[in-house]
Amino acid sequence: MSFIKKFEAKDKQKKANKKIDSELPFFMTIVTLLATSGFGPYTIFLKIKDLDLLPNVRIESIKILKKIDILGKDPLAVMLETKGKVSSDFGEFLSGWVSSIQSGGNVVNYLTTKMNNAFELYESQQKELAGKVQTLIETYMTMQIVVLAVYIIITATSTDGVGTPPGPDDIDPLYIVVIMPPLVSFLFLVIAHRLNKPKIKELDWKKILMFGIPGILAAVAINLLDILPDYNLYILGGGLIASAVWPALNFRPKYAFALDAEAATATIMRDVAESRKAGLGPEKCVIQATKRKDFGLFNRVANGIANKLQWGMTLDNIFKFIKKETTDFQILINFKVLFEIISAGGGNVDTLNTLAKVSEKMSVIQKTKREMLKPYVMVGFMLIGITSFTTLLVIDSLTSLGAQLETDEVKRVAIELEAKSKFELLGIAILIQSWIAGLFLGKITTGSYSAGFMYSIFLVVIAIGAIAIISLKIFSVSSLYG
């Protein structure tokens, strides 16, 4: 039992260290900027104690402060004690910071170097993450091609074009390949959730279900009642589209706001730094930078910051206002650091210039990541469209040929009825698969499932188009032989 407890404690510490490492670049940034403004370690830890944007580093800061305040230990000695007890990178950073202070070296230069190195590592990690996402997409697309091949093989090797009739205890293999694609897509959705964390808050799932379920239930009810038997697939497709309309329309402006906010934040930080070089006071620099009208959807927030500063509101209250408007970590951390520097009486040119560089670097990293993943959306659309069309075309053509070659009228009618049933079954699978694939594309490109509903609508429309072309015999291979 003691071995198990030790293993659990070690695993828990390992997970905690991993969380600390993810916050380390931003912790180093805050430390560097505050140190550049002339603050010592103890004061910096006091400020980080109230910084809930970095929860794991905040916990370690509280532990350090308790040892200093309660036990009366020297701050530098406590900082050295962290080495070996928490994240190795965190401990090494603190011990290096202490060494710079004790040796009388250039502390700011050390901190700046460590900060730059941390962001270089962060950039490489983001590129590596984008590479993993690309691999996941490529694997998903490969699975789609494999499923297409299985569809065709099962149909082509059947005696009548729709599969050899199974025995009483057998399962028709066609049903397996019909169920398999949605299950595979669901598995990839789970993997994508673990791989690509959301930057934008997901829409309320209760509201998504409230607006989405009625459309799907209505489509299922109409099909089960057989009210319009010749339009079952179109009705189901319409229900799936209806279920995605509300989240698609509501998430689109949120995503556009997030992009505008990201670009605007980097611009504001740079404008503040440049205005400070001209000799304006820190608060006036912020007012000047946030008064602009070219921030798109972020204009309301930026102009609100300027107005509130002119009204004399505190920086803490202004930050609460920003926090209500966005949950994007990088935007919040930039403004929090800026306000901390100003409220503490800092805001010298070098500090603000460093903050502007960091903000611009964050923005470039995220933009590069998005650009790397953007082409895969189009590739995904093409692949889903091609596989939907090809699958239905091959199966319809083979079953039609089987019916045409049958001389017995009764058997031919039976084959045609079974072919229609199988076509409808595969059509249902393709519609559901297209809908889920849209969620997958949204998750891996933006980090949010909510972004995928727009893609789901487009993919279901493409699938309906493929169904219409094949079922209406606009294009059919069998007609070439008829």
The per-residue pLDDT for range 246-291, each reduced to its tens digit, is 999 999 999 999 999 999 999 999 999 898 888 888 889 999 999 9
- Per residue in 110-131, pLDDT tens? 888 888 888 888 888 888 887 8
Lowest mean pLDDT, pick from 190-194, 310-314, 357-361, 417-421: 417-421
- Per residue in 411-438, pLDDT tens? 766 766 776 777 788 888 888 888 988 8
Q: Which residue has the tokens 């409808």?
A: 424
Lowest mean pLDDT, pick from 111-125, 148-162, 215-229, 394-408: 148-162
Mean pLDDT calculated for residue range 156-176 = 54
| pLDDT band with cut points at 50, 70 and 90 for residue 476 | low
Regarding predicted confidence, which is higher, 394 or 432? 432
CB 440 within 8 A of CB 449: no
DSSP 377: H
Kindly report the three-state secondary structure assignment for every residue of 58-87: HHHHHHHHHHHHCCCCCHHHHHHHCCCCCC
What's the whole-model pTM score? 0.80
